[in-house]
Chains A and B, each alone.
Chain A
Amino acid sequence: MPTRESILTLVRSGLSYPQIGERLGVTPGLAYLIATGLPADGGDAPGWETDKRPGALSTSTQHLSNPKSIVPQRDEQTDAWIRERALADPALRAAWAAHGVAPSALAEDDDDIIDVIGHDHGQARHLQLQLQTLPGASSGGRPDDLRRRAEAFALLRAKLKAHEHAEEEVFWPLVRDRLPKGGDLAQRAEQQEHEAEGLLAQIESADPATPEFDELVRTLTSALRKHVAFEDTVLAELRERVDEAAREEAGRRFKAARSANSASIAATGKAG
């Protein structure tokens, strides 16, 4: 019978327990038991800290003493059946065909710039979610998915442009003016927006049927997330330091600037 030392020597030399078992003429599980004092099948459930013994594995060991285990997690017949069920439901398909990517209409009755910007963010988030869940070219997206992705991106781009313009015209000047270190905040935001613009331009020229498009969209989503989180902190500060009347006045100007900008974007035909 092999000894603990003889097995540990082989372990140190880099052999696996199945290899050691074969070499020494014992089952791998027995080799493990001799080396570590631990039954490989977990028979005494000793807890995690015993993993520190020489020769002990930090992984599961039951394969060393048990026959092959059966754990199928995919089932082709089920996949085919799901497709069949979906294809046999014209109402489902029609509803999907009519399902647009656009967010629901903006609530226009709030004037507070915090709410106005918050609603814009909500719309952008909705579009980002579409871009995250609709499979792109790199994850097996079908032509219809790619079309929707392109559509969602175009909408997002248009909204962002209008939004950023309005922010530059109204919001950041307000921040500069009214918040301590407002200048720094505005500068940081402008830098973020500048980066986003670069990304938007890159995506615009990318083909939605390529993995490159998906990768750029992912980068954009991440950048927007950080930008929105940053603006959340700015908005929270603004709420504390700027009175409601001023915020509402700014909100009205923001909305005007935004619609002027979106009109101009629409006029130049870029809003796809």
Chain B
Amino acid sequence: MTIANLPWPVLRQITGSDRTGRGAAARSRRTEELRPRTITADKVVKSICPYCGVGCGQNVYVKDDKVIQIEGDPDSPVSRGRLCPKGAASLQLTTGESREHHVLYRRPHATEWERIPLDTALDMVAKRVVETRRDTWQWNEEDKRVRRTLGIASLGGATLDNEENYLIKKLFTALGIIQVENQARLCHASTVAGLGTSFGRGGATTCLQDLQNADCIVIEGSNFAEAHPVGFQWVMEAKARGATVIHVDPRYTRTSAVSDVHVPLRAGSDVAFLGGIINYVLSNDAWFHDYVLAYTNASTIIRDDFADTEDLDGVFSGLSEDGREYNTEAWQYEGLDMQSAAGERDEQYKEQQKVGQGAAEGSGGEEAESGGNGGGHGNGKGNGSRGRGGSSHGHAGRSESHGSGGAAFHGQPETDPTLQHPRCVMQILKRHYSRYTPEMVERVCGIPRELFDLVCRTLVRNSGRDRTSAFAYAVGWTQHSDGSQMIRTASILQLLLGNIGRPGGGIQALRGHASIQGSTDIPTLFNLLPGYLPMPHAHEHEDLDAYVKGESAEQGFWGNMKAYMVSLLKAYWGPHATAQNDYCFDYLPRLTGSHSTYETVMAQLDGVCKGYFLLGQNPAVGSANGRMQRMAMAELDWLVVRDFSLIESATWWKDGPEIESGELRTEDIATEVFFFPAASHTEKSGSFTNTNRMLQWHWMAVEPEGDARSDLWFMYHLGNKIRALLDGSQDERDRPVLDLTWDYPVEGAIAEPKAEAVLAEINGWDAEGRPLAAYDQLNEDGSTACGCWIYCGVYADGVNQAARRKPGKEQNWLGPEWCWAWPANRRILYNRASADPDGKPWSERKTLVWWDEDEAEWTGHDIPDFEKPKSPHYNPPAGATGPEAISGTQPFIMQGDGKGWLYVPAGLIDGPLPTHYEPQESPVANPLYGQQRSPVRQVYSRELNRYQPSGNEPGAEVFPFVATTYRLTEHFTAGGMSRWTPYLSELQPEFFCEVSPQLAEERGLVHGDWATIITARSAIEARVLVTERIKPLKVDGRTLHQVGLPFHWGRSGLSKGDSANDLLAVTLDPNVHIQEDKAFAVDIQPGRRPIGKARRELVEAYCRRAGITEQTGMEVR
């Protein structure tokens, strides 16, 4: 008899060895008999958490083909076994009762769902695609061939696997559908432009684990601890090693609580703050001279017709007559021809004006019968000033094509290594930031001088030869009308301080979704093809050579772009792509302007876009101006929603806010809605690309139940059905679909396509059918196929490298054999810069890679982000092109000049240097310049999208407070993966707003009671959280209050509430079309909002009081 079996604890205590009764003696039999659930499992299937971009490893415990438990995988070098509340609740997410398992169908005008079989539904969707495509087909736009349809669009979530995104883009592109978009647009599009133009690649320059080597970490525009909790352990690790942690944020959060310094600032003033630090660094001569001189474009000379904001009171030279766009020519390097971001001016977004004239204007007579279609469909709603809206500046966001390759570049720029030339970048930089003084920072941001000084001193002290500092940011920077420029400001600062490419340095762009990095690498974005190859433009890219000439760089790795493009075309169209037909380059649909998700929504309102796929995305809650989103969906002919549960975007026609308010009536809505239940991450294999640019494979643990299917399955079988419908067609229009390589092997009872095969196609192969090992094996003569050149190598040697699982404990901190990171498994980008120009580490304390004299190659802890045998003394011979043109001392190998760009001469369309502009809606008049806002921001005057007055304009006082939206630990974006999960809903049950005690007093807001928050778009209600965490600031001499709003809620799910995004107008960053939702102006009143018609009346009364018209907020200034 063992001790535990003795009946009385006291008996066990006196007879056993545990005399004090604090151990085994006190244990009950029940405890003794408890066994972990995991012990009964048959197997553990390795997986990756589907929530944020940290990409924690998961162990999925399976018994009898059921998932019985999900825990953290301690082998992961990133997460080390930890999971946050969301990850820990993923068992409930995947196996809980909230998931739908039946296909549902809503007939036009119906008031309820009905069940239909999966196969029938898929047949119906295939037919809708074929018909809508035929009816809206467009061969030409004016006289330029476009080969496309604007009648169909898609918007995907960023929890799609890379393989799923690949099939979505491939099938839709072949169908001529260009409005293919993704959450990545809404989250981090500006990261791609900001980091891409600065360094050559649009991904985080470092990996999470390396944060532990930092001596100082500045977290700004991110609530790291709450939004990426498991990644935050590396900040804590750094802190434990003595690093100083600085948190800059309007709110005091759990991140601030464990930081050494919290710096509250006014939402939207980050460029002024960082510009102030740049000024401090330059004027105190605190920049890392050797690094800056060797590795940045500080010495490069700019054209003499360039004029800075200093000369023109807040704008740069080249502003067009109407003030809506820049001619960027004068921003360029002296004596050099560069491809500007917008290229030749894009054709304007004329589709809007075509409503009622029929969208089809084909060259072929066979299109004639559809000519009248669309007439009478466009209705008057919300397009009162059509033609003004987006038509004035519809660039296609080419800045994002710098996600892995700098601006096109020809020749050698002139430089002045003494940095004295008045037009060299260093001097321009000094002048530009000279007015960003501590006094000005205080006026603009509300940051007291001593605090600002402390940040400057700390950062400078922890940067240089022996010390490094890192920056981490998230959507607090990206989601602004000048989001790209916020990231640019940090890039400039990190270059000046010598912190890029070095251990403990870099910029971590914290991605908030499992594969948001992947969704831009293998983009479901309208303007990109896989690997950041730009989508061709109608008027510029008539053939492949014109495309390559226009888009590639002669120097650096972007110089091999033709090989990447031809290999992609070979992957898409296989045997049909030959040298004789330009490798089917003509099969690609053409852009004529911007078709971002917001512009697509307007095209839906205007009746141009008639069919819409939502693939794991909930724009009714998650996109700016939710009301416009829902009103636009009500104009669709058909809508396909794929998700776990009946999210708001699936049910707006029966229970949306506009039904409640009477603006829409269910019976009047003609939209046909298909709901397809989706498979979870445990029910499919595939790879997510996390915030480290690391592809991590997850294996299918069990097959999905009922009608639930992966998007891989959905796209593949939808493609098969569409191809069957078009089979035998002799129409040239259908050739790209019928010639598409679409033959993936399937497995299991549900015929799931093999994700490994799709990954293998992404990786590419040679003519013998051998997987390629690296992108330098790609050829431009059609002898290789590769679906995404930057992922080439992920299937090297026929091994799924993303599936490697060597435990983090058994390798160095970068975990090189844990999964696979692009490019070429390098974990810290530009790491050539960790060594001095001669190839020796700058400091023993900060070694990463170095030149090994004896072996004559680069070596070190990471894989060198540099050609291994290229010596530090290599100088390109005259006329060298491609990689050969990059010298042995140029770490930024994707840039034409191999340099980090302090000043961006080409690639951005709103300025070569970040400049502080106020948000579109701000109660503050810009203290820095006469120019209030970015002149080239994208604004849309529509009835559904009214703007408020700003600054000193009359009526601005009606919306006196600054609001910002944010995320909570326990919820996930638009709630589709959290508000239906009982644990998570219990943890954060209700929508609330955060206000300071001072504001509460001023407005009579009571803690725990209700408040109504009002803008020109909507009025929403929230519980009031009165807290010291959100402090009133002294801005430009007056007290300014801020309101914090978590944005997760909608009207469905277990935890319901109003949507903060309904408050927003659509205002976009012109580079990448990301919405501004992190800083806007509101009013707040105590009490609940009115319901029914009275809700609109309240909003309209506010608009009248503020004097809002269709002109408000549209001014260039």
Contacts and interface: CB of A to CB of B under 8 A. Distances in A.
B878 A95 contact: no
Nearest to A79: B798
Interface stretch (A61-69, A149-157, A173-181): A61-69
Nearest to B869: A225
Interface string B53-87: 00000010100000000011111000011100000
A13 interface: no
B880 A92 contact: no
Nearest to A112: B878
18 contacts: A45-B80, A45-B82, A59-B810, A62-B59, A66-B38, A71-B699, A74-B799, A75-B757, A78-B756, A86-B767, A89-B574, A91-B577, A92-B782, A96-B783, A122-B880, A125-B884, A133-B774, A133-B777
Interface of A: 1, 41-43, 45, 47-48, 51, 58-60, 62, 65-75, 77-79, 81-93, 95-99, 107, 109-110, 112, 114-119, 122, 125, 129, 133, 135, 142, 144, 222, 225-226, 228-230, 232-233, 235-236, 239
Given A71-B699, A119-B877, A42 B72 contact: yes
B807 interface: yes
Contacts of A68: 43-44
A158 B93 CA distance: 65
A110 B888 CA distance: 21
Contact of B873 (A58, A69, A74, A235): A235
Contact of B785 (A89, A226, A229): A89
Given A47-B80, A60-B810, A86 B575 contact: no
A58 B575 contact: no
Contacts of B74: 41-43, 45, 60, 62
Contacts of B761: 85
A110 B779 contact: no
Contact of A71 (B46, B743, B880, B888): B46
Contacts of B727: none
Contact of B888 (A79, A99, A230, A232): A232
A59 B80 CA distance: 13
B875 A114 contact: yes
Contacts of B754: 75, 77-78, 81
B878 A110 contact: yes
A67 B42 contact: yes
A207 B575 CA distance: 35
A144 B616 CA distance: 47
Contacts of B39: 65
B384 interface: no
B766 A96 contact: yes
B81 A42 contact: yes
Contact of A85 (B699, B765, B783, B873): B765
Interface of B: 24, 38-39, 41-46, 59, 61, 71-75, 80-82, 237, 570, 574-579, 699, 741, 743-745, 747, 754, 756-757, 760-761, 765-771, 773-774, 776-777, 779, 781-785, 798-801, 803-805, 807, 809-810, 855-857, 869, 871, 873-880, 884, 888
B874 A232 contact: yes
Contacts of B46: 69-71
Contacts of A112: 878
B780 to A, nearest CB: 10
A21 B756 CA distance: 38
Contact of A233 (B73, B770, B810, B871): B871
B877 A118 contact: yes
Contacts of B579: 91, 95
Contacts of B783: 92, 95-96, 98-99
B570 A58 contact: no
B75 A233 contact: no
Contact of B857 (A41, A77, A225): A225
Contact of B767 (A72, A92, A133): A92
Given A60-B810, A86-B766, A71 B877 contact: no
A226 to B, nearest CB: 4
A82 B747 CA distance: 16
A82 B765 contact: yes
Contacts of A129: 776
Contacts of B45: 69-70
Given A72-B803, A78-B745, A59 B809 contact: yes
Nearest to B578: A91
A60 B807 contact: yes
Given A42-B72, A95-B767, A236-B873, A48 B575 contact: no
Q: Which of B769, B774, B888 lies at the interface centre, i.e. has the most chain A CB atoms within 10 A of its CB?
A: B769
B3 to A, nearest CB: 8
Given A69-B45, A88-B575, A81 B757 contact: yes
Given A85-B741, A85-B765, A226-B856, A95 B873 contact: no
Given A45-B80, A142-B768, A236 B570 contact: no
A166 B768 CA distance: 39
Given A45-B72, A99-B779, A93 B745 contact: no
B856 A225 contact: yes
Q: Which 3 residue pairs across A and B have the least CB separation, nearest first? A: A42-B74, A118-B877, A86-B769
B784 to A, nearest CB: 8
Contacts of A48: 809
Given A41-B74, A91-B782, A235 B875 contact: yes
A118 B699 contact: no
A114 B777 CA distance: 28
A43 B602 CA distance: 50
B875 A92 contact: no
A67 B805 CA distance: 16
Contacts of A1: 24
Given A47-B80, A75-B800, A77-B745, A226 B43 contact: no
A87 B869 CA distance: 35
A67 B41 CA distance: 7
A77 B678 CA distance: 26
Contact of A67 (B44, B577, B757, B884): B44
Nearest to A133: B777
Nearest to A104: B881
Given A58-B810, A96-B767, A70 B699 contact: yes
B73 to A, nearest CB: 8
Given A42-B74, A48-B809, A92-B785, A118 B880 contact: yes
A51 to B, nearest CB: 7
Given A47-B237, A89-B574, A91-B570, 13 more contacts: A42-B81, A62-B74, A67-B42, A71-B699, A75-B757, A81-B754, A82-B757, A85-B769, A87-B769, A91-B577, A118-B880, A122-B884, A229-B856
A110 B41 CA distance: 71
A71 B801 CA distance: 11
Contacts of A96: 766-768, 783
B1004 to A, nearest CB: 47
A91 B583 CA distance: 10
A237 B39 CA distance: 68
Contacts of B771: 82
Contacts of A89: 570, 574-575, 767, 785
A79 B756 CA distance: 9
Nearest to A114: B877
B745 A81 contact: yes
A53 to B, nearest CB: 14
A137 B992 CA distance: 68
Contacts of B874: 229, 232
Contact of A42 (B80, B785, B875): B80
Centre residue among B575, B754, B869 by max chain A CB count within 10 A: B869
A73 B871 contact: no
